[in-house]
Structure 1
Amino acid sequence: METMKKKPVSSGIAQLDNLLGDLYIGDNVLWYEDAGSLTSVFCIHFIRESLALKKPTIYVSFDRSPKNVVTFLGPLAESQNFTILDCFTNGKGDRSEVFGKFYEKDGAQWPYQVIRVNDPAHPSQVAEAIYGLHANLSGDTRFIIDSLTGMQDLWGGEEQVMKFYARTCPRLYELDTIAYWIVEKDAHSSRLRANINKITQVAIDLAIKNDKPALKIIKAEKRNSRFLNEPQSFTCTGTEIVFELPKPLPERLDLGGRIKAMRKKQGLSQKELAEKIGVTPSSISQVEKNLIYPSIPALFRLAESLAVEVGYFFEGTQAAGWSRCVFRLGDGVGARLEGAAKGQVEGVRLLPPSIRDAETEPYLLRIEPGRKVVGHFFRHKGDELGYVLAGTLVFWVNGQRQEAVAGDLIYLKTDSPEQWENADETTAELLWLIIK
């Protein structure tokens, strides 16, 4: 049984999202850095993005006092969706009166939500505080846990840290959260780093290379990042982060990947495709993994079965040469939608691969009279553009009713419609562009 796909999430920095191949709900993200403040800027972007979407966001602080966190975040700390879980005051702060004064109110309305953990020296109390707070929140929750190094200092060694991470990381994954974990890399043994890397979904290293800050993606589980272990330089001015244009990696033909992607878009199993071209499912599996390459006749049969030109498999290489500019109605290939839209939207056609590029993915959609679709057609984070070719469609975004008739454009940037409906007596047709 296929597992449910996790929801994509933005880090708040589009260039980082592209380098990673996106973040997803369920991700635990380890941020390794030298002693310094490089991670802080990435945290600010993540917090700002989360709060803009009105997502519950929790800052678990071992190394910073609540006053320090508030100063660091400025107005963001006053959001009703933001909470500080204070493990510092009664931890490294040693219950000092200096830090306790933060909680004294002068009668004015308290603008912050801060929860002080009574005894953060015990990992079990920290875990109870995290899960207890999470239980009172709704929707996907965002955590910034600052830091594993502070935990180690407070708990007296890395064994407790490893146990805490090994228990907490999988649980946060199952609770549909996303968590940033800050780690001062030189403060921990290679054994601890290896163990937590094994459990986490994403690991990122920040360092200074040739007097410039650089980011390196060490791990990005279950996503196709082309930039794994490739240092990416960036500039940081205030809170603005700009990555240098990544150097193109040496080109490598991923024939199997292209065949697999087109097969999946058409909703075909390996067995179904194998039957179409007269080979075994095992052969298709090996081709898709680039363990073997199909013969020339088999390649043409693959292209015919997937309703693409052979040149599609080689687009972006010297073998690609495509000048066709007129496409007939039958040139598109069948595609299947997921979720609630499956079976509710008819005539789904993925337009010919040769007119697509890395930036867009065009579809033709047909919705019959009286049909309702709960949710959106696609699970996509980013810009989408629709053009109503025929009929009338009603849809709801953030609870607001919208109506589009033939000739209207629909533009979605970050929000996805909660429902679509064709309340008209004629079939509605849409040209829909996913902009990657």
Structure 2
Amino acid sequence: MSGFDVGARLKQLRKLRDLSQRELAKRAGVTNSTISLIEQNNVSPSVSSLKKILDAMPVSISEFFAGEETSPQEKFFYRAEELTEIGDGNLSWRLVAARHPSRGMSIIHEHYPPGADTGEEMLEHEGEEGGVVIAGSIELTVNGDTQCLHAGDAYYFDSRLPHRFRNPGDGDCVIVSANTPPGFSEGGASTHHRR
């Protein structure tokens, strides 16, 4: 965490949410002094204890380390390097406008290397989702129906139906997708894709 002012960032996010140190400590299940010491940079929190505190706000780890964004309400454009990675290190899902204050949907740039799979256990969650395959191919199963989609092909379905994504090919698959309601609003913690 060197080079990043953890204390100042925590204090900034806490104040943005109108939380006192006491209230944040209570929500996170830690002592008031813990919050105070972290904010003064007198103690460096472990990732797990930092996550516990951030979950109480709630703020994702990626949002925390992404730093301050000026006037998020007025931001319309996002460069490739500004997308927030919420994947698991193998599958890559890069979320557009992760910190937008009133985001009503998730738009994700998805990358599936050969053999990547969302898992044998079918996914089911509230909402709808759709996407367009930009490169490669993806095997998509929705409610027992399996299709192999290629570049230019698209999908759209009720997310409550059991579904699974798998890249059976020997090349990378790239998809641009959207889902609503925004299952990635907390960053990383979502039922859209299982790690």
8 Å CA contact 1:375–1:420 kept in 2: the answer is no
Could you say if the C-alpha distance between residues 343 and 380 of structure 1 is closer, same or farther in structure 2, counting changes exceeding 3 Å?
A: farther
Q: Which residue of 2 aligns with 1:383?
A: 128
The two structures have a TM-score, normalised by structure 2, of 0.55
The one-letter amino acid of 1:385's match is: G
Q: Which residue of 2 aligns with 1:305?
A: 65
From 263, 278, 285, the equivalent of 2:53 is 285
Q: Which residue of 2 aligns with 1:422?
A: 167
The one-letter amino acid of 1:415's match is: L
From 67, 74, 77, the equivalent of 1:326 is 77
Could you say if the C-alpha distance between residues 333 and 383 of structure 1 is closer, same or farther in structure 2, counting changes exceeding 3 Å?
A: same
8 Å CA contact 1:369–1:425 kept in 2: the answer is yes
In the TM superposition, residue 420 of structure 1 has moved relative to its aligned partner by 2.3
Could you say if the C-alpha distance between residues 416 and 350 of structure 1 is closer, same or farther in structure 2, counting changes exceeding 3 Å?
A: same
Q: Which residue of 2 aligns with 1:403?
A: 148
In the TM superposition, residue 368 of structure 1 has moved relative to its aligned partner by 0.7
Give the Cα–Cα distance (whole angstroms) in 2 for the partners of residues 376 and 254 of structure 1. 37
In the TM superposition, residue 390 of structure 1 has moved relative to its aligned partner by 1.1
The one-letter amino acid of 1:305's match is: F
Q: Which residue of 2 aligns with 1:90?
A: none
In the TM superposition, residue 432 of structure 1 has moved relative to its aligned partner by 2.0
8 Å CA contact 2:94–2:110 kept in 1: the answer is yes
The one-letter amino acid of 1:311's match is: S
Q: Which residue of 2 aligns with 1:206?
A: none
The two structures have a TM-score, normalised by structure 1, of 0.27
8 Å CA contact 1:307–1:333 kept in 2: the answer is no
Give the Cα–Cα distance (whole angstroms) in 2 for the partners of residues 367 and 335 of structure 1. 13
Q: What does the per-residue CA deviation read over 1:52-105, in whole Å, with 9 as the maximum and x for residues that have no partner? A: xxxxxxxxxxxxxxxxxxxxxxxxxxxxxxxxxxxxxxxxxxxxxxxxxxxxxx
Could you say if the C-alpha distance between residues 428 and 311 of structure 1 is closer, same or farther in structure 2, counting changes exceeding 3 Å?
A: same
From 127, 139, 161, the equivalent of 1:394 is 139
Q: How does 1:29-428 map to 2 (within 5 A)?
A: 254=17, 278=41, 280=43, 281=45, 285=53, 288=56, 305-307=65-67, 309-312=69-72, 320=73, 322=74, 324-336=75-87, 342=88, 344-345=90-91, 347-353=92-98, 357-375=102-120, 380-413=125-158, 414-417=160-163, 419-428=164-173
Q: Unaligned stretches of 5+ in structure 2? A: 1-15, 25-37, 182-195
Q: Give the greater-gyration-radius structure (CA).
A: 1
8 Å CA contact 1:394–1:404 kept in 2: the answer is yes
The one-letter amino acid of 1:306's match is: A
Give the Cα–Cα distance (whole angstroms) in 2 for the partners of residues 432 and 279 of structure 1. 43
Give the Cα–Cα distance (whole angstroms) in 1 for the partners of residues 54 and 67 of structure 2. 21
In the TM superposition, residue 362 of structure 1 has moved relative to its aligned partner by 1.6
Q: Unaligned stretches of 5+ in structure 1? A: 1-252, 261-273, 291-301, 313-319, 337-341
Higher helix content, 1 or 2? 1
Pairwise CA RMSD of aligned residues? Answer: 4.0
- DSSP-derived class of the 1:305 partner: helix
Give the Cα–Cα distance (whole angstroms) in 1 for the partners of residues 171 and 107 of structure 2. 23
| RCO comparison, higher one (Cα < 8 Å, 6+) | 2
Give the Cα–Cα distance (whole angstroms) in 2 for the partners of residues 415 and 434 of structure 1. 14
8 Å CA contact 1:368–1:422 kept in 2: the answer is yes
Q: What does the per-residue CA deviation read over 1:262-286, in whole Å, with 9 as the maximum and x for residues that have no partner? A: xxxxxxxxxxxx69x9564489839
- DSSP-derived class of the 1:373 partner: coil
In the TM superposition, residue 394 of structure 1 has moved relative to its aligned partner by 0.8
The one-letter amino acid of 1:328's match is: R
The aligned length equals: 141
